[in-house]
Amino acid sequence: MACGSGPARHRAVGDYGERVAARHLEALGMTVVDRNWRCDQGEIDVVAPTSPPTLVVCEVKTRTSVSYGSPVEQVTQRKAMRLRRLAVRWLQEHPEVTSPHVRVDVVGVLVPRAGAPEVEHLEGVLS
């Protein structure tokens, strides 16, 4: 991971968190089929269809401290609703994936100064 501060370090921490989150989801038996998918309406960090057919779109938040709350607390209801809309758009652009259900998950990754990262996974954040 990059040392120092600023945008480069921030991006390196975020990239690391996304890799940790993808490994976490794969350890749960999910198959990550897309990462950092972008369109004119926004970005999905991780796309991982599951069985039975559910399209899981996952927002990943990575932090190096909890000074401003846990990573998962940073995802608002508004952001989760946008992710659901992005999931529909992703499905439109990937007709080969047939998932009648969409689920929005949040994975928070806390990267301590030393030791392994801590992962918190919230499934189905929209009710």
Per-residue pLDDT at 17: 96
Res. 18 pLDDT band, cuts 50 70 90: very high
Q: 35: which residues sit within 8 A by CB, 6+ positions away?
A: 18, 22, 45, 46, 47
Quote the pTM value. Answer: 0.89
Q: What is the mean pLDDT of the chain?
A: 91
Nearest Cα to 110, choosing from 100, 96, 101, 121? 121
Range 7-122 classified under CATH 3.40.1350.10: yes
Domain boundaries, the chain: 7-122
Q: Using the predicted structure, report yes or no on whether residue 4 has a pLDDT greater than 70.
A: no
- The whole-number pLDDT of residue 64 equals 93
pLDDT higher than 90, residue 107: yes
Question: What's the CA gap between 56 and 65, in Å, rounded?
Answer: 27
